[in-house]
Amino acid sequence: MNMEKLHKKLIKKKITLSAAESCTGGLLSSKFTRLSGSSKYFQMGLVTYSNKAKIKILKVNKKIINKYGSVSPECCKAMVQGLSRISKSKINISITGIAGPNGGTKDKPVGLVYIGVKNKNKILITKNIFYQKSRKAIQNATVKRTLEIIKSKI
């Protein structure tokens, strides 16, 4: 299913959608909002890049970030839960990861990305490792994977 088909399906089914992005910096939100009529379903896109923004805007508990880090399933889940409270959308998405080229460690390599999707009361957190070579390629692969997950949920 391409973007146009997804766009039409979201409008037809009256499904609202919001996103809280970190390592993709708004790229997912941009994919939706570049299509005319996306305001019928796209509620909000937040770029909560810093830990401070995750804590202040999405109400991620500081203890989660201190214990697990911002690139963790725990943080991703807290992000999507916080977004859901703010947006009231039917589908909420959170993305947090390491797009590189720096910032990776042995335990959390460049290309590690967690994608959270909250659909009604169900939350799915997926761990992804993208082996692309550039930051841009990792961001694009993340958005592509996120769209695949969304398509499977509607």
Longest Cα–Cα distance in the chain: 45
Q: What domains can you pick out in the chain, each with its CATH number?
A: 49-133+147-154 (3.90.950.20)
The pLDDT profile of the chain, 154 residues, written as one tens digit per residue, is: 689 999 999 999 999 999 999 999 999 999 999 999 999 999 999 999 999 999 999 999 999 999 999 999 999 999 999 999 999 999 999 999 999 999 999 999 999 999 999 998 899 999 999 999 899 999 999 999 999 999 998 8
| CA atoms of 9 and 70, how far apart (whole Å) | 33
- The Cβ of residue 55 has, within 10 Å, a number of other Cβ atoms equal to 18
Is 18:92 a contact under the CB 8 Å cutoff? yes
